[in-house]
């Protein structure tokens, strides 16, 4: 289960709409616990697949390190990633699966004609064979 605050959910949708017809991508910061995970914040990132930004995104390793460091400084974890599927459903593609890491949550927002639609979250199974859907639950706000 992935708990998203309304603000994080809205910012993912807005980033997807703003990047349309290209794919957007970014990192989710939060905490992971036995009760599921919480995404408290996000870091919007530049899509480095300029060759094919309509249907691919790439976050470079140096940006992954940078985001991890930023998360640590705020005592948060890098718990996953989001990206948009312009004019395609919010389901992971075969390409997503082949390039996925275990453990991370992968949030996908479908954007049709610049309008954000469905949002879903996915986790790669440990044998890498498929993605399992992860329930998204609205979170009311940052605790105390």
Partner 1 sequence: MAVKVMIPTPLRPFAGKQASVEVDGRTVGEALDALTGRYQELRKHLYAEGGRLRSFVNVYVNEEDIRHLQKDETPLREGDTISIVPSIAGGRPQPQTAASDPVPPLSKEEVLRYSRHLIMPEVGMEGQLKLKRAKVLLVGSGGLGAPLALYLAAAGVGRLGLVDFDRVDFTNLQRQVLYTTGDVGRPKLEAARRRLTDLNPEIQIDTYETHLTSENALDILRPYDIIVDGTDNFPTRYLVNDASVLLGKPNVYGSIFRFEGQVSVFGAPDGPCYRCLYPEPPPPGLVPSCAEGGVLGVLPGIIGSLQAMEVLKLVLGNGNPLAGRLLVFDALEMSFRELKLRKNPECPICGPHRTITELIDYYEFCGVRGEEAPPPSVQVPEMTARELRERLSRGENIFLLDVREPHEYQICNLGGYLIPLGDLPRRVQEINASGPVVVHCRSGARSAEAVDFLRKAGFSRVWNLKGGILAWSDEVDPSVPKY
Q: Does 88 bind partner 1 (CB under 8 A)?
A: yes
CA 14 to chain centre: 13
106: buried, middle or exposed (CB in 10 Å: 19+, 13-18, 0-12)?
buried
d(CA 66, CA 141): 26
- Residue 15 binds partner 1 (CB under 8 A): no
Q: Residue 124 CB, nearest distance to partner 1 (Å)?
A: 9
**Interatomic CA distance for residues 81 and 107, integer angstroms:** 6
Using the rule CB under 8 A, is 7 a contact of partner 1?
Answer: no
Residue 123 CB, nearest distance to partner 1 (Å)?
A: 10
> What's the N-to-C CA distance of the chain in angstroms?
21
Residue 40 binds partner 1, judged by CB under 8 A: no
22 is a site residue for partner 1 (CB under 8 A):
no
Around Cβ 41, how many Cβ atoms within 10 Å? 17
Q: Which of residues 58-87 bind partner 1 (CB under 8 A)?
A: 58-61, 64-65, 68, 77-78, 81, 83-87
Footprint on this chain of partner 1 (rule: CB under 8 A)? 23, 25, 49-52, 54-61, 64-65, 68, 77-78, 81, 83-88, 91-96, 98-104, 106, 126-128
């Amino acid at each position: 289960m992935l708990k998203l605050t309304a603000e994080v959910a809205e910012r993912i949708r807005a980033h997807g709409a703003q990047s349309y017809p290209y794919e957007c991508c970014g990192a989710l910061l939060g905490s992971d616990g036995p009760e599921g995970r919480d995404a408290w914040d996000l870091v919007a990132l530049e899509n480095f697949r300029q060759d094919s930004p309509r249907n691919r995104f790439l976050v470079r390793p140096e940006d992954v390190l940078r985001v991890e460091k930023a998360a640590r400084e705020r005592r948060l974890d890098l718990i996953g990633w989001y990206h948009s599927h312009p004019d395609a459903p919010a389901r992971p593609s075969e390409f997503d699966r082949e390039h996925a890491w275990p453990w991370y949550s992968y949030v996908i927002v479908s954007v049709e004609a610049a309008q954000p639609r469905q949002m879903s979250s996915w986790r790669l199974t440990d044998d890498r064979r498929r993605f399992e859907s992860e329930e998204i639950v609205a979170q009311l706000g940052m605790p105390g």
